[in-house]
Structure 1
C-alpha cells in the first residue's frame, strides 16, 4: 500500500509559527507532526509516500530527505504557490499512487489511531476514519451508520479525522461532479474533495469507522502547545 500525506496548506491560522516552517513540520512531543505519520506508515510496511507541498516546499526535503531513514521512498508533489486543495492534490498524485487502494492522512493532525486498523483491500471507493466532534467543529461532517456506511446527511454527524483509504475510482467522472468551480480550468486542476465523496455516498460507495481515542487537529498555536505539553514524558 502507498500513502499520501497532505502537506500543502498555507498554515495561515498558525502564524507566526508558519512564517518560516510549514505546519506539518512544526514539532510536538519532540518531533515534527509529519514524522509521527511517517513512523506509523513505516511500521505498517508502506514503502512509498507522496507528500504534496506548496508553502515553503523546499523545507520538506531539507527536513525529511528521501525517506530512507524510515525505509521508504518519499515523492514530493509540488503544487505551486497556490495549493490544489484536497481533490486536486489527490488527483495530481494518482500517477504515483496507482489504482490499488492507498492511504491518506492530513499532515496537520496528531492521533493515536492505529493505521493497521485500516483496510488493505476496498470494494467501495473510500473508507473514512471519524472522531467525535471537537469544540471548533461541533456540527461534524458526515453521518456514520451502524453498518459502517457513510451518508452525507444525518442527525448524528461525526468529524472526518483526515485519515482514510481511497481508490482511484472515486475520480471517475470528476469533472461532471465538480462542475465549473474556480480552479478546475488550471493544469493541474484545483478543487475540493468533498463533492466527490458526497456523490460516492449517494451511491453507497463510502464506508467508515469511528476512532474513540486521541486526535487533535493542530489548527492554532494554542492547540499545538496543548498537544506538545500532553506528549512530554
Structure 2
C-alpha cells in the first residue's frame, strides 16, 4: 500500500452550482446516482492509497457524517476543519497549510469537483522519484471550452512554464511537497500565485493527461457529468 497521503479539497461554497449547494455541500451532490466525492474515494482506494485528508467548511459536518472514518472504502479519512461557514474556507493554499500536520512529505492533491480517469496509483508511485528541485508535479489536460486559453506551458524536459505556444489547463490533480507550504503564514491564501512563483523559477514538473477529465463546477457541466456516467 502507498505511504502517500491524498488530500481532497472539499471546503468550497460551490457558488456556480447554487441553489443546489445552498443545502448540499458540493462534494455530496448526486452524480450518476452517488455523491461526487465517492468517485474519488473509490479510485484512491483502488490505487492503494490508505490515508485521505478532507478539508471542511461550508456544510462540512454533512460531509463528515456521510463519509465517516472511511472504513467503507478501506480508507482512513481524517478531516481538516476550517470553520462552519462558507466564509471560513481558507482557499486552496491556505487549506493545505492548515492541514499540513495530516499530510505525508509528498502528497496527492485532488480537487473535489472534478471527474477524471487519471491514474492515482502511477501518481503516488511518482512521489518517490520526484526530482529534488520539483516542489510539485501537476497533471495538465487539454483546454476545455470554458477555459480555452489554458494555464501553463509544458517544456520538453517536463517542467511547467508560464506560457508558450501551447498551453494546457491544470486538472486540479497533482503531487505537492509539504515544504512548498510550510513557510506560509496561516490564513486565507490562493494556490495560483504560489504555483506561478514556483513555475517562474523552474520548480514545478508536470505531465499531459490525454484521457477523460471534467470540471463539475457549473449546472451545465454537472449535467454533462451525469450524461457521461449514464452512457459510459
TM-score w.r.t. length of structure 1: 0.90
8 A Cα contact 2:27 2:63, kept in partner: no
Q: Which of residues 94, 104, 113 is equivalent to 1:108?
A: 113
Q: Does the alignment pair 1:208 with 2:206?
A: yes
- CA displacement at 1:159 relative to structure 2: 0.5
Could you say which residue in structure 2 is the equivalent of 1:87?
93
For 1:178, the equivalent position in structure 2 comes to none
Report how many aligned residue pairs link the two structures.
Answer: 220
Structure 2 alignment gaps of length 5 or more? none
Q: Residues 53 and 77 of structure 1 are in contact (CA less than 8 Å); yes or no, is this contact kept in structure 2?
A: yes
Please state how far the C-alpha of 1:116 moved relative to its aligned partner: 2.0
Aligned equivalents of 1:19, 1:91: Cα separation in 2: 27
Instruction: Indicate yes or no: 2:130 matched with 1:120.
Output: no
Does residue 135 of structure 2 align to residue 129 of structure 1?
no
Separation (CA, whole Å) in 1 of partners of 2:184 and 2:55: 20
> 1:7 Cα shift?
0.4
1:38-117 pair list within 5 angstroms: 38-80=41-83, 81=85, 82-98=88-104, 100-117=105-122
How far off is 1:172 after superposition? 5.2
TM-score (norm 2): 0.90
Aligned mates of 2:229, 2:193 — CA distance in 1: 36
Q: 1:26-59 CA deviation, whole Å, 9 max, x = no partner? A: 1212221111111111111111111001111111
- 1:164 corresponding residue in structure 2: 174
**1:8 is matched with which residue?**
11
Matching residue of 1:232: 230
How many angstroms does 1:117 deviate by?
A: 2.5
1:155-213 deviation digits (Å, cap 9, x = unpaired): 321100000000012125445xxxxxxxxxxxx41101122212211222110011111
Shift of the alpha carbon at 1:93? 0.9
Offset, 1:87: 0.6
What is the match of residue 190 of structure 2? 192
* 1:149 maps onto 2:149 in alignment: no
Separation in 1, partners of 2:63, 2:182: 31
SS in 1 for 2:60: coil
The CA distance in 2 between the partners of 1:33 and 1:161, in whole Å, is 16
What's the C-alpha RMSD, in Å, of the aligned pairs? 1.4
Is the Cα–Cα contact under 8 Å of residues 174 and 196 in structure 1 kept in the other structure? no
Measure, in 2, the Cα distance between the counterparts of 1:8 and 1:161.
Answer: 18
CA distance in 2, matches of 1:31, 1:212: 26
